[in-house]
Amino acid sequence: MGLGFTHCEAHWSYTDFHYLAACIGMNLDDMEGFGADIPFENFTVDIIPLLNLSDSDSYLMPDVCKTVAVRLRQLIHNWPDDDIDKKNALYLAEGMELAHQQNEPMGLI
Protein backbone atom coordinates (compact mmCIF):
# COMPACT_ATOMS: atom_id res chain seq x y z
CA MET A 1 0.00 0.00 0.00
CA GLY A 2 1.21 3.49 -0.71
CA LEU A 3 0.35 6.97 -1.84
CA GLY A 4 -0.09 8.49 -5.26
CA PHE A 5 0.01 12.20 -6.01
CA THR A 6 -1.74 14.59 -8.32
CA HIS A 7 0.42 16.28 -10.98
CA CYS A 8 2.73 13.25 -11.39
CA GLU A 9 3.10 9.51 -11.66
CA ALA A 10 4.97 9.12 -8.36
CA HIS A 11 3.78 6.34 -6.10
CA TRP A 12 5.45 5.93 -2.74
CA SER A 13 5.06 3.33 -0.07
CA TYR A 14 5.00 4.31 3.57
CA THR A 15 8.45 2.73 3.86
CA ASP A 16 9.75 5.28 1.36
CA PHE A 17 8.71 8.09 3.69
CA HIS A 18 10.65 6.43 6.51
CA TYR A 19 13.69 6.16 4.25
CA LEU A 20 13.45 9.84 3.32
CA ALA A 21 13.06 10.85 6.97
CA ALA A 22 16.18 8.87 7.84
CA CYS A 23 18.10 11.10 5.39
CA ILE A 24 17.53 14.02 7.76
CA GLY A 25 18.17 11.97 10.89
CA MET A 26 14.51 11.49 11.75
CA ASN A 27 12.79 8.27 12.77
CA LEU A 28 9.15 8.65 11.72
CA ASP A 29 8.12 6.07 14.31
CA ASP A 30 9.08 8.66 16.96
CA MET A 31 6.79 11.33 15.47
CA GLU A 32 3.22 12.40 16.18
CA GLY A 33 0.87 10.63 13.84
CA PHE A 34 3.23 7.67 13.52
CA GLY A 35 2.68 6.20 16.96
CA ALA A 36 4.77 8.45 19.20
CA ASP A 37 4.74 11.98 20.54
CA ILE A 38 7.50 14.12 19.01
CA PRO A 39 5.81 17.00 17.16
CA PHE A 40 6.90 17.81 13.63
CA GLU A 41 6.99 21.45 14.70
CA ASN A 42 10.28 20.63 16.47
CA PHE A 43 11.93 20.41 13.03
CA THR A 44 12.51 23.23 10.57
CA VAL A 45 13.76 21.18 7.61
CA ASP A 46 12.13 22.03 4.27
CA ILE A 47 11.03 18.42 3.69
CA ILE A 48 8.80 18.33 6.81
CA PRO A 49 5.57 19.31 4.99
CA LEU A 50 5.89 16.16 2.87
CA LEU A 51 6.78 13.90 5.79
CA ASN A 52 3.94 15.31 7.89
CA LEU A 53 1.35 14.98 5.11
CA SER A 54 -1.68 13.02 6.24
CA ASP A 55 -2.77 10.25 3.91
CA SER A 56 -6.38 11.46 3.80
CA ASP A 57 -7.65 14.73 2.37
CA SER A 58 -4.23 16.36 2.37
CA TYR A 59 -2.43 18.64 -0.02
CA LEU A 60 0.60 20.90 -0.31
CA MET A 61 0.12 24.49 -1.38
CA PRO A 62 2.04 25.66 -4.48
CA ASP A 63 4.66 27.69 -2.60
CA VAL A 64 5.32 24.75 -0.28
CA CYS A 65 5.61 22.43 -3.29
CA LYS A 66 8.41 24.56 -4.70
CA THR A 67 10.38 24.53 -1.45
CA VAL A 68 9.87 20.82 -0.78
CA ALA A 69 10.84 19.90 -4.36
CA VAL A 70 14.20 21.66 -4.00
CA ARG A 71 14.96 19.88 -0.73
CA LEU A 72 13.74 16.52 -2.04
CA ARG A 73 16.14 16.75 -4.98
CA GLN A 74 19.00 17.55 -2.59
CA LEU A 75 18.22 14.61 -0.31
CA ILE A 76 18.05 12.02 -3.08
CA HIS A 77 21.04 13.30 -5.05
CA ASN A 78 23.35 10.50 -3.84
CA TRP A 79 20.79 7.69 -4.06
CA PRO A 80 21.67 5.16 -6.81
CA ASP A 81 20.35 6.25 -10.21
CA ASP A 82 18.70 2.88 -10.80
CA ASP A 83 16.84 2.99 -7.45
CA ILE A 84 13.06 2.98 -8.02
CA ASP A 85 12.65 5.16 -4.94
CA LYS A 86 14.93 7.79 -6.49
CA LYS A 87 12.95 7.65 -9.72
CA ASN A 88 9.69 8.12 -7.82
CA ALA A 89 11.21 10.94 -5.80
CA LEU A 90 12.23 12.68 -9.04
CA TYR A 91 8.70 12.22 -10.42
CA LEU A 92 7.36 13.69 -7.21
CA ALA A 93 9.73 16.67 -7.36
CA GLU A 94 8.69 17.29 -10.98
CA GLY A 95 5.02 17.07 -9.99
CA MET A 96 5.56 19.54 -7.17
CA GLU A 97 7.28 21.92 -9.56
CA LEU A 98 4.37 21.56 -12.00
CA ALA A 99 1.83 22.23 -9.23
CA HIS A 100 3.81 25.35 -8.32
CA GLN A 101 3.96 26.54 -11.94
CA GLN A 102 0.20 25.98 -12.32
CA ASN A 103 -0.44 27.62 -8.93
CA GLU A 104 -2.40 24.53 -7.83
CA PRO A 105 -2.14 22.53 -4.63
CA MET A 106 -0.67 19.06 -4.96
CA GLY A 107 -2.87 16.40 -3.43
CA LEU A 108 -2.79 12.73 -2.64
CA ILE A 109 -4.74 10.24 -4.71
pLDDT digits over 46-57, tens only?
999 999 988 776
Q: Which residue has the higher pLDDT, 39 or 10?
A: 39
**How big is the CA angle at 86 (ends 83 and 91), to the nearest 5 degrees?**
130
pLDDT (average), residues 5-33: 90
Asked if pLDDT for residue 2 goes beyond 90, the answer is: no
Predicted confidence at residue 55, as pLDDT, reads 75
N-to-C CA span, the chain: 12
Predicted confidence at residue 4, as pLDDT, reads 83
**How big is the CA angle at 87 (ends 63 and 60), to the nearest 5 degrees?**
20
Torsion of CA 4, 61, 63, 96, to 10 degrees: 10
pLDDT (average), residues 58-72: 95
Domain residue ranges in the chain = 2-107
As a whole number of angstroms, the distance between CA 94 and CA 100 comes to 10
Instruction: Give the residue from 44, 42, 53, 57 showing the smallest Cα distance to 109.
Output: 57
